[in-house]
Structure 1
Amino acid sequence: MSDDFPAAEPNSDGVSDAIQGEIELVPLHRVEDVTGEDRRNDLDSLPGVPGSDPVGLVDASTDASTQIANAIVDERFDLALDTFVVTAQRLVDDTVLFHYGIVTEVSGRFEGAEMATDTARLVAATLPGQRYRRAEVSWIRTHPERYLPPSSGAPLWIAEDIHRRRALFLDKMAEGEAIAIGLDMNDERVFMPYSFLNGDRGAHVSISGKSGVATKTSYALFLLYMLFETEQGIAARGGSAHDRAVVFSVKGSDLCVLDRPNNRFHVDDEVGAEAMAQWSTLVGEVNPGPFGNVAVYAPAEEAEPGTEPVPDISVRDRNDTHAYGWSPARFISAGLLEYVFDDLESGQLSFIEQVVRLQLLRWAWPLAGDESGAIVLADPDLQTGDPVPSTWESAGRHFRTKKRAGLAAGAGMVVRDLDDIVAFVADKVTEGTAGFDPSWCGAVSAATSQAFVRRLWKATPRLRRLVRAGLAEVDLARQLSVVDVHALHADGQRFVVAAVLDHVWSQHENSTAPGKTFVVLDELNKYAPRQGGSPIRHLLVDIAARGRSLGVILIGAQQNPSGVDRDITNNAALEVVGQIKASEAMELGFLPPAMRARAQIIAPGTMITNQPLLPAPVPIRFPYPPYATRVAEVASSASDAADAAAFLDRE
């Protein structure tokens, strides 16, 4: 021993007086001694400890970490997957620390069995053994926030009341901002703060899953219903009557009946009765109705320019449906030529498109005495009045402020439909034609001009019905607007989606939108592919990046998340996964391996949700809707029956 520390004689306890003088020794049983008093698990008199019977104990035979632990389940209880649980321990300062978690796996076996044939002997009690079940628990949070492992052997309870609120971080949400996003596997509500949907702290939703199985669009509609049709959602939105939602119906016209009640939503139907109970749990209302403030838009049927537009739809009364399209004046002034193409990429083709788009705007004049949106294309340098600017923004202001007087039909070429526009452009950019004008080509080669014209002619029959005089675009005047695009060619669908979103985006960029706009778009991988480029892809990426601050919220759905631009999916605050292909599961990096494997076999109607505030994926279910999502679900009203009876009487 060193001279600095003289030896001391041990006392009667076997501990030297010198050491006793330097430190205060605490008997082992003061901290934790399983052979004596287990003080860390002595929870008597500690505040907030659940008074109900525990459902298990933290497994002492395996490591319990700050991230995961196993628990031995009491045989009197059935602790199911996805259940929220809580455990507690006494700290050395006599305060209590709670651990909150979610059950991510449950297993069971006979302890004592070494071979498969031991099973029969254990069941017959000819071999000693003990049956047990073990639950794997992933920890979500601690309260207070202390990064310590749970205590081995500590009791485990199902999280209820204040403990469930903490497990779901409801205590971290502002008053009134909690939105129910579904029911957990025990039919208890799971919440998300509205501030992560409306752009205050986050925005956008990404929904992935197989087509027809994962119910992607159904879940997107459920979210809209919670936001717009329930007291909970209306309160979270601050009661705003100016918020809007637009849904693109891309797979049939079934979504065009959202304002009709569902014929299975009643107590005599097993599915409907279960749904009514679930809705009662979600929003406190047993019998909610369909969406209340809905406008349905369908593409106008092909007709002569200037004729009264007729919506192309068969699932509802045409008198209750709006026909949509774009007049030549709107097509040119909004620069929608950009969205006619999907394959220009960058380079010379993209350049000539920009030149032609600007020239059309500079040459466009109202047709005198016309109210249908027809225009006259005439050389601006030959017209009187204010000179037409040569930049897009300035030329657009010049057009919109009506500084251009109407021209008579003889002053230039009268344009009443898309064919007229394409014919005029082809004449201007093709060498050797009577109207060829190099200022329309931007000095590109003749071959590039010809390639551009070929693409125009190719697109014309696919878009012809959408651009003609007498048509009006989608205006989003109602709270929910359904835009039917299913009957259009894929090029037509892309054009409509891009044109509507461009209008919405422009309103929000110019601060003319009265509230927030929620956009539901399925088949996102078709509109914003990861590989390649297109104008609509760039628009959607811009919405995903800046929509949070401008009030445009994208609710996108896709079968193959690997095919969607990552700048879109990475900006989603709420990620939702239904049943998904094995080849796509690896794209879901936010899911732990076990949950990723589960997503491949998850039941239809069950979704796995991931949100910023809750640091663990949570499976949820959402109820069968009170609104019709397909024509076969539309309930007949009394007026429908009366109309049918009157018709039969006339026969």
Structure 2
Amino acid sequence: MSEEQPGTPVGRVLGTEDASPLTFWVAVAEGSYLQLDDVVVTQRPLPDIGMVTIAGVVTSVRARHEGASFDSDVFAIAEGMLPAQVQEAAEVTVTRVEPEVYVPPLPGAVAFRAQGESRDSALSFDRMHRRLPIGTGRDGQPVYLNADFLDGSRGAHVSISGISGVATKTSFATFLLYSVFRSGVFGGDAVNTKALIFNVKGEDLLFLDHQNTRLDERTRAQYHKLGLEAAPFPQVSVFAPARAGDPTGSPDVASRLTGVDPFYWTLAQFCADRLLPYVFADADDERQQYTMVVHSVTAHLAKHAVPSDGGITLDGFRINSYEQFVDHLVEQLNDEDTRGQWAGSSIGVATVNAFARRLINSKRDLGRLIRGDLPERRAHSISTAESSQVTVVDLHNLPDRAQRFVVGVTLKTEFERKEKAGTAKPLLFVVLDELNKYAPRDGSSPIKDVLLDIAERGRSLGVVLIGAQQTASEVERRIVANSAIRVVGRLDPAEAGRPEYGFLPPAQRQRVLLAKPGTMFVGQPEIPVPLAVEFPFPAWATRPGEAGPAPRATLASMVSATDPFAVVGSGARNGMADDEIPF
């Protein structure tokens, strides 16, 4: 830090409150003010060392009458009948001491509102070799995230908490991805970096590659201040579940008519890849005895199911649908002659029946996702390796069991692919909302096991989880604990008091109850105080009504990548004649 005046003088260090190397109070000078989140710097000369600069963030502000004894004195003072002086004071929580000699500032020392290099130094931005812009502070200046704690170099994973519809968790997650891809901080690695986003609410995330028609010049200026261009994501692949009852397997979407591919799994894939456990993905299922049947049946299917043009042949029977598949399994398990081959000789009838009941209940939910009526070559599996930079998987039309199946199988497949690659590059960012549903604090499930694996080993494999949830207190502790970056938007009062938010100072715990959409409190390892950040309005469409035309390059890339075996009604030309393609 510079020994020159670090900013504008705003007051002096109080002598009536204890000052420590970690916190101190500043008496605000007449005509000046300090607000929450302002950055304050003061200095203290030391013999043999020189000038020590102590910097911090304002975490509390108060104002009082000095000279008043009773509450009612305020009326007499206001009428000029009683002498008193209004005095404001601000509590400063220290964020940096340079050089690292931890001494308290002296009472009477001049306090400055930090500006320019002094502000960047106080917030440790000058020590960040890769500064990722994530928004602006209360002073209107850029706020940065240390990319080393995002990409696995020194830490990884992001936890975002807040009330649904108010905290703008998904908007912040997508803005963070946009900054990763477009800021230049990741250099050439950004070109190969991928993102996998699960869309769980409406069709809001299906238009990330479309310009937001509500974008104005003020918003563009906010992006420019952060060193970004206000534009949509250039490369987006969208997957939607195959439409129920449609023999062609067309995608089940209503608002986006182009550039959507269906996803489903053939029965052959289902058996060979051992996906049956993800049909039983509720958090409490692993504590039930019938899970032994699940694993036994899974192994039997992998060994004996024979692929047959998308369907399978099993025990001499040709099976062409998930419904037939379930009925066949239940029949084999109910037959005393074959039950032992499928479930094991030590499994009781009651346990087998518990398995069968749950399997039968899955027919309605999973029938359109697990297919045996389409040729193998036309199966569309979700894969970020062969997709665009951003892959959006639409789940909003699926029931809860089907959502769990898709999330679990997709994460399992992607994580195994990264394990086989054996390298952390290229990076894969996974954005998953409603994390408390997939990785709850209590219980166990196949999905939770995958998410725990990502949280604990994903850093070394280049898989970064950006998890969002209304209540971090209901998410598995190890996942939250492994998140180097913690972000909080508007919170419910009961949730704000939970230990998971202990990283927030008391004043910020109160402020999150009032936070407006677009304001987040971001905690990162190098800065001891979470910073209040306002991020710009999305430059990409966040709902169908905001969607402008897709960029020319995006449309061209979609057509060139069209699968020659794609089902009718999918891909870039869906619903459009050849002469209607807009280029």
Superposition TM-score, scaled by structure 2 size = 0.89
Q: Name the counterpart of 1:554.
A: 465
Q: Does 1:142 align with 2:97?
A: yes
Q: Name the counterpart of 2:539.
A: 626
Which residue, 441, 449, 453 being the options, matches 2:343?
441
Q: Does 1:93 align with 2:93?
A: no
Q: Name the counterpart of 2:560.
A: none
Q: Name the counterpart of 2:564.
A: none
Give the unaligned 5+ runs of structure 2: 556-574
The correspondence of residues 292-331 of structure 1 with structure 2, limited to 5 A, is: 292-303=234-245, 307-317=247-257, 319-331=258-270
CA contact 2:137–2:143 (8 Å) conserved in 1: yes
**Identical aligned residues as a percent:** 40
One-letter amino acid of the counterpart of residue 236, structure 1: F
One-letter amino acid of the counterpart of residue 437, structure 2: K
Give deviations 1:617-649, integer Å, cap 9, x for gaps.
111111111101111222357999xx99xx9xx
Q: Secondary structure at the match of 1:235?
A: coil
Q: Name the counterpart of 1:195.
A: 148
Q: CA deviation at 1:110?
A: 2.2
Taking the aligned partners of 1:47 and 1:504, their CA distance within structure 2 comes to 48
Q: CA deviation at 1:199?
A: 1.0
Cα distance change of structure 1 residues 439 and 309 upon mapping to structure 2, 3 Å threshold: same
Q: Name the counterpart of 1:353.
A: 294
Cα distance change of structure 1 residues 555 and 126 upon mapping to structure 2, 3 Å threshold: same
Q: Name the counterpart of 1:427.
A: 331
Q: CA deviation at 1:509?
A: 1.4
The correspondence of residues 316-395 of structure 1 with structure 2, limited to 5 A, is: 316-317=256-257, 319-341=258-280, 342=282, 343-346=284-287, 348-367=289-308, 370=309, 373-378=310-315
Cα distance change of structure 1 residues 51 and 415 upon mapping to structure 2, 3 Å threshold: closer
Q: Secondary structure at the match of 1:198?
A: coil
Which residue, 348, 367, 378 being the options, matches 1:464?
367
Q: CA deviation at 1:299?
A: 0.5
Q: Name the counterpart of 1:160.
A: 115
Cα distance change of structure 1 residues 347 and 51 upon mapping to structure 2, 3 Å threshold: closer
The correspondence of residues 69-88 of structure 1 with structure 2, limited to 5 A, is: 69-88=24-43
Q: CA deviation at 1:93?
A: 2.3
Taking the aligned partners of 1:124 and 1:237, their CA distance within structure 2 comes to 64
One-letter amino acid of the counterpart of residue 534, structure 1: S
User: RMSD between aligned alpha carbons?
Assistant: 2.2
CA contact 2:287–2:443 (8 Å) conserved in 1: no
Q: Secondary structure at the match of 2:355?
A: helix
CA contact 1:431–1:446 (8 Å) conserved in 2: no
The correspondence of residues 605-620 of structure 1 with structure 2, limited to 5 A, is: 605-620=518-533
Taking the aligned partners of 1:47 and 1:461, their CA distance within structure 2 comes to 68
CA contact 1:113–1:119 (8 Å) conserved in 2: yes
Which residue, 293, 297, 318 being the options, matches 1:414?
318
Q: Does 1:539 align with 2:450?
A: yes
Give deviations 1:274-324, integer Å, cap 9, x for gaps.
x22321211254xx11111001111111246xx43200001111x420111
Taking the aligned partners of 2:357 and 2:427, their CA distance within structure 1 comes to 40
Q: Name the counterpart of 1:510.
A: 420
Taking the aligned partners of 1:94 and 1:296, their CA distance within structure 2 comes to 60
Q: Name the counterpart of 1:597.
A: 510
Q: CA deviation at 1:358?
A: 0.8
Taking the aligned partners of 1:180 and 1:59, their CA distance within structure 2 comes to 35
Q: Secondary structure at the match of 2:510?
A: helix
One-letter amino acid of the counterpart of residue 500, structure 1: T
The correspondence of residues 219-298 of structure 1 with structure 2, limited to 5 A, is: 219-228=172-181, 230=182, 232=183, 234-236=184-186, 238-267=188-217, 273=218, 275-283=219-227, 285=229, 288-298=230-240
Q: Number of aligned pairs? A: 543
Q: CA deviation at 1:221?
A: 0.9
CA contact 2:6–2:41 (8 Å) conserved in 1: no
Q: CA deviation at 1:474?
A: 0.9
Taking the aligned partners of 2:317 and 2:8, their CA distance within structure 1 comes to 85
Moved more, 128-137 or 236-245: 236-245
Which residue, 137, 145, 160 being the options, matches 1:184?
137
Taking the aligned partners of 2:120 and 2:240, their CA distance within structure 1 comes to 45
Q: Secondary structure at the match of 2:421?
A: coil
One-letter amino acid of the counterpart of residue 125, structure 2: L
Give deviations 1:184-211, integer Å, cap 9, x for gaps.
1111111121110111111110011111
Q: CA deviation at 1:111?
A: 1.4
Cα distance change of structure 1 residues 638 and 261 upon mapping to structure 2, 3 Å threshold: closer
Taking the aligned partners of 1:577 and 1:611, their CA distance within structure 2 comes to 12
Give deviations 1:66-89, integer Å, cap 9, x for gaps.
121110112232322101111101
Q: Name the counterpart of 1:12.
A: none
Taking the aligned partners of 2:551 and 2:85, their CA distance within structure 1 comes to 64
Superposition TM-score, scaled by structure 1 size = 0.80
Q: CA deviation at 1:579?
A: 1.0
Give deviations 1:213-251, integer Å, cap 9, x for gaps.
1111111111111111x2x2x332543422110111111
CA contact 2:7–2:115 (8 Å) conserved in 1: no
Taking the aligned partners of 2:470 and 2:307, their CA distance within structure 1 comes to 45
CA contact 2:43–2:54 (8 Å) conserved in 1: yes
